[in-house]
């Protein structure tokens, strides 16, 4: 079962509702995205994206993308994941969440919930995208087990000691 820490995160967020929607971003999505990227002191391209850039990142995809939204009881959008439904799994492309709600650990919670969501849809896998052991920003992905890594053209069972 989930670790004590993950169980605490699940319970902290039990007031959130998940909603799967077409990838049609609203003002609420854009505001949340802006506060997310600016809170990360990100001087990169993300922080400079305007509403049009954001819309095309979300909507102009050649693949079938959707937004998975998490709202609290006041219908406040707390977090959102741009995801792709594949034949054998759900693929998380990009996620953003309310930076002021750090006690919720929304980044972790949304992954836990995407695992549940994939299971409800009878999809065996959740893809979290690239994993670079040296990257602090990607290190969180290693906490979700069991996992596999695609390396040298094949999937391997993930072993953290071998992959750092």
Nearest to 19 by CA among 65, 79, 61, 64: 79
Question: Which residues of the chain have a pLDDT value below 70?
Answer: 1, 41-43, 130-140, 142, 160-164
With a threshold of 0.75, does the pTM exceed it? yes
144 DSSP 8-state letter? S
Q: Express each pLDDT in 98-112 by its tens digit.
A: 999 999 999 999 999
């Amino acid at each position: 079962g989930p670790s004590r820490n993950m169980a605490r995160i699940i319970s902290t967020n039990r007031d959130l509702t998940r909603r799967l929607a077409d990838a049609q971003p609203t003002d609420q999505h854009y505001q949340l995205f802006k506060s997310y990227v600016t809170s990360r002191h990100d001087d990169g391209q993300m922080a400079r994206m305007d509403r049009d850039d954001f819309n095309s990142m979300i909507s102009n995809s050649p693949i079938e993308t959707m937004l998975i939204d998490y709202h609290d009881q006041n219908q406040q959008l707390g977090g959102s994941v741009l995801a792709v439904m594949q034949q054998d799994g759900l693929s998380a492309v990009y996620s953003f969440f309310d930076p002021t709600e750090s006690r919720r650990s929304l980044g972790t919670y949304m992954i836990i919930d995407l695992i549940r969501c994939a299971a409800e849809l009878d999809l065996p896998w959740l893809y979290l995208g690239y994993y670079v052991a040296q990257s602090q920003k990607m290190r969180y992905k290693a906490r979700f087990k069991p996992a596999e890594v695609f390396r040298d053209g094949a999937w391997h069972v993930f072993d953290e000691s071998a992959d750092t």
